[in-house]
Amino acid sequence: MSMILFLGCVLCRSSEDDPAMFGEKITLKEHNLTLHYFCLLTSSGVYQRGKENEGVFGFLVDDIKQEVHRAARLTCCYCRKKGACVGCNKRSCRKSVHFSCGRKNNFIFQFRGLFPSYCQDHSPTQSLCVSSNLSLPNSCSICLEAIEPVLSYSILKCPCCHASWFHRDCVQVSVSVLFLLCCAHHICLDFLSESMFCCKLPVRCQRQAHSAGLFFFRCTLCNNQDNFREEMLRMGIFIPERDASWELEANAFSELLEVYQHCDAPICQCNNGRTHSAKLGYFELIRCCLCGSRGTHRKCSELKLDIKDWACSECTGATDGKASLVTSPKVSSRRSWSKRHLSTIHSPISSKRPMTSVTNSSPEVILQTLVTQLGPHSAQVEVSGCQALQAGLNLVRSPDFEPTCSLSVRFSKEQEDMFPKSLQDNEEVAKQYFLKLLVQQIQSSVVFEGPEGCKNLSLDSLALREDLYFDIGCLLALCLVHGALIGFFSPGLFQCLFNFPANCPLSIDHMTPDMQLTHNVRMIAEAETLSDLRDAMISSWQFLELAGCNRLVNRLEEKEEVVEDLVSFTLITRMQLPLQRFREGLQTLGVFKQVQLFPSFYSAVFCEAETPLTAQTLSKFFTIRLSEQQEKLNKETPIVSFWRHFLVECEVCTSYVAFKSSMEQAVSHHLHLLPAVGERGADQQKRNISNLL
């Protein structure tokens, strides 16, 4: 016997299918369950205990069934039917309702945190601005219909400008967002009829506005986004956390990618017609560099082959013949590819911002401006073994992470034997050791490539998926503020991030050595004849095709242009998203802004590594004076040799464990060589060395 599927929501018992009012209607055929997403979110007895791909967006099926059984015993205070799964969040209030009944009777459902709900008696309210300079509006700023300027469940206002008042239904369907987005993207507004601009908007408008999503939701008058969004969430407005549906539609804005392809010269000399454009030569179509809506073949306007920037007669006339023909930039502009900001950090400052001179500020003053941002509170950092990077990632990915907190580092007790005693007793020493270890492990992580001390960003798909570039940038900002030295950036990476030195083109020397892409570009750059150049380009045709540089070259002089384009593609174009997220991470505690203000000072901080102390350098601090007597000389020579080997062992050991092991072995095997003082001098020295370790 086949099972009959119940199409109504098991929580509210309604068969309505209105995503704007009830959320997505979800059906699990194998469990005979149908429910509204909003009913599930606002239910008082069910929580998201699974992963996103388990059950219904993390709500386990067994938990949902238990909630259905719980709600079956509760009666709705409005319709008097069973199944009231939503309760008022006020502890003393015993009201329980169906989600649909609560919406009809002025219940407020907050779609954030644990999704609390409030009845009409305990719901949050808005306060009226008492400024004498502000006149109360008489119409809704969205639908423009008349309203009574009295704050209530159905009448809301913007918390920022206090001048934008609107109906709750209007802001829920967010028709203003639809209008702004259509204007911003030049979408035709013919379908917005006059009947849509009323409080009870038709279904078609609701569907369009509901699809606007979180990233286009803002006040219609003052254009504030953050405060307005937070206030509307508090007042029970649901804002879908997704991009606008028209942004995700395939080829929605394909016409914006089309370029003008027509020769507008009075007499076109191209045999293939005015729309033909060769890749190179006299019959390549050149578009106006000012308007982009006029074009010409080089031959038709008597332009030379090296001319790439041309202005049409309309633009030249509009500028009185003084049109500025600026050559194309050698490095493409760096813009954010995503409207999603995973942190509260603002977007990076434009590289065109004027840079302040550092001649009047000392290095101590510059660094002190960063340190003053740290507050009195501290954040605990638990380090397991030598895994400083993992401990740092756990810190910045914590939901309650606050960058202004000072760091309190503690190494795990089960690993105490791996570290000196000073790291366990002195918090400042432990923190500095952790920061130094963290910088070393960041340098060796997958987001960087290149030789030691001269790293470029690498392109790693898994790191992009996990947003590791942002996290690493945030950690490096924290390291710098807390006193650690970076010192492993390559000059090319620093220039890509901060545009310093300004207006200086990148070259092959900025690319990562010993990489296949660098080898391909160097082969092209070192070609001495046209034949060698073509052979080098043929051998690297896949890379050239990817970079958009796979074209026929007719002169050896074109080599420089090809190399320049390849370098720009390798270091900038293909790395736009990693660079963008890395910059946003560096904005933690204002580090990115500070570096832009003092780039010459910070270039040394990021790019110049501190000179390591070697055994040879340390040995120069001492002068060895051997005895002239042969008997004493025979005893002193092995001791000198021992201490020289001791320094070398200290230099080559990469970890404290290896250092401790080698020192214990040296002490046990060569203890007789240590100069003794008194009868029990050797035993005393052994104890001293053991205490040191």
Q: Using one digit for the tens of pLDDT, what is the confidence trace for 141-163?
A: 878 888 887 888 888 888 887 77
Alpha helices in 79-199 (DSSP H): 99-104, 168-173, 175-184
Listed in sequence order, the residues at least 6 apart from 663 whose beta carbon sits closer than 8 Å to its beta carbon are: 646, 649, 689, 693
Tokens of 250: 């395939």
Q: So what's the pLDDT on residue 454?
A: 92
Q: Using one digit for the tens of pLDDT, what is the confidence trace for 65-76?
A: 888 888 888 899
Tokens of 576: 């736009």
Residue, of 422 and 217, whose pLDDT is higher:
217
Q: So what's the pLDDT on residue 1?
A: 41
410 vs 395: CA distance, rounded Å:
13
34 belongs to a structural domain: yes
Domain boundary among 60, 94, 118: 118
Q: So what's the pLDDT on residue 243?
A: 61
What percent of the chain clears pLDDT 70, i.e. is strictly above it?
73
533 vs 297: CA distance, rounded Å:
27
Burial of 503 (0-12, 13-18, 19+ CB in 10 A): exposed
Domain span at residue 626 reads: 615-674
pLDDT at 226 over 50: yes
> Residue range 127-149: average pLDDT?
73
88 belongs to a structural domain: yes
How many angstroms separate the Cα of 509 from the Cα of each of 58, 90, 494, 512?
A: 50, 66, 14, 8
649 vs 427: CA distance, rounded Å:
28
Most confident of 40-49, 330-339, 444-453, 622-631: 444-453
pLDDT at 329 over 70: no
Tokens of 528: 């001495």
Residue, of 428 and 216, whose pLDDT is higher:
428
366 belongs to a structural domain: no
> Residue range 486-490: average pLDDT?
92
How many angstroms separate the Cα of 2 from the Cα of each of 6, 30, 32, 85, 250?
A: 13, 12, 12, 29, 39
Q: So what's the pLDDT on residue 55?
A: 84
- Reported as half-sphere exposure (CB side, CA atoms, 13 A), residue 516 has a value of 5
The band of 204, judged by pLDDT with boundaries at 50, 70 and 90, is very low
C-alpha 323 chain-centroid distance: 39
Identify the H or E element spanning 409.
strand 406-411
Q: So what's the pLDDT on residue 447?
A: 95
172 vs 170: CA distance, rounded Å:
5
Q: Are strands 406-411 and 378-383 parallel, antiparallel or unpaired?
A: parallel
511 vs 490: CA distance, rounded Å:
9
Q: Left if phi > 0, otherwise alpha if psi is -120 to 50, otherwise beta: which for 123?
A: beta
432 vs 448: CA distance, rounded Å:
23
pLDDT at 390 over 50: yes
C-alpha 57 chain-centroid distance: 24
Nearest CA to 127 out of 156, 90, 166 is that of 156
Q: Where are the beta strands (DSSP E) in 51-103?
A: 86-87, 96-97
pLDDT at 207 over 50: no
How many of the other CB atoms lie within 10 Å of CB of 395? Answer: 20
> Residue range 463-481: average pLDDT?
93
Residue, of 274 and 362, whose pLDDT is higher:
274
pLDDT at 339 over 90: no
Q: Using one digit for the tens of pLDDT, what is the confidence trace for 538-581?
A: 998 888 888 888 888 889 989 999 999 999 899 998 999 999 99
Q: Round the average pLDDT of the chain to a whole number and report it.
A: 76
> Residue range 356-385: average pLDDT?
71
622 belongs to a structural domain: yes
Domain count, the chain: 2
CB 186 within 8 A of CB 176: no
What's the pTM value of the predicted model, to 2 decimals?
0.45
Q: So what's the pLDDT on residue 214?
A: 60
The sign of the torsion formed by the CA atoms of 40, 44, 46, 49 equals positive
Most distant pair of Cα atoms in the chain: their distance: 112
pLDDT at 232 over 60: yes
**Choice among 116-130, 180-194, 376-390 with the minimum mean pLDDT:** 180-194
Q: Using one digit for the tens of pLDDT, what is the confidence trace for 78-97?
A: 998 888 999 998 888 889 99
**Choice among 136-140, 413-417, 678-682 with the minimum mean pLDDT:** 678-682
Identify the H or E element spanning 411.
strand 406-411
608 belongs to a structural domain: no
pLDDT at 634 over 80: yes
Q: Using one digit for the tens of pLDDT, what is the confidence trace for 643-671?
A: 777 777 776 655 545 555 555 555 555 54
C-alpha 198 chain-centroid distance: 40
> Residue range 595-611: average pLDDT?
84
pLDDT at 352 over 50: no
C-alpha 300 chain-centroid distance: 48
651 belongs to a structural domain: yes
> Residue range 115-136: average pLDDT?
77
Domain boundary among 118, 135, 159: 118
Q: So what's the pLDDT on residue 337?
A: 32
290 belongs to a structural domain: no
Domain boundary among 118, 141, 161: 118
Bridge partners, 241 (sequence order): none
> Residue range 280-291: average pLDDT?
86
Residue, of 103 and 650, whose pLDDT is higher:
103
The band of 185, judged by pLDDT with boundaries at 50, 70 and 90, is very low
325 belongs to a structural domain: no
Peptide bond into 501 cis (omega under 30): yes
Q: So what's the pLDDT on residue 577?
A: 92
> Residue range 123-131: average pLDDT?
74
Bridge partners, 288 (sequence order): 310
Tokens of 195: 């009947």
> Residue range 380-388: average pLDDT?
86
What three-state secondary structure class fits 380?
Answer: strand
Q: So what's the pLDDT on residue 491?
A: 92
> Residue range 617-635: average pLDDT?
79
CB 101 within 8 A of CB 80: no
CATH at 82 = 3.30.40.10
Q: So what's the pLDDT on residue 422?
A: 52
> Residue range 118-138: average pLDDT?
75
CB 556 within 8 A of CB 530: yes
Most confident of 327-341, 577-591, 658-672: 577-591
The band of 326, judged by pLDDT with boundaries at 50, 70 and 90, is very low
How many angstroms separate the Cα of 442 from the Cα of each of 171, 388, 470, 609?
A: 46, 9, 12, 14
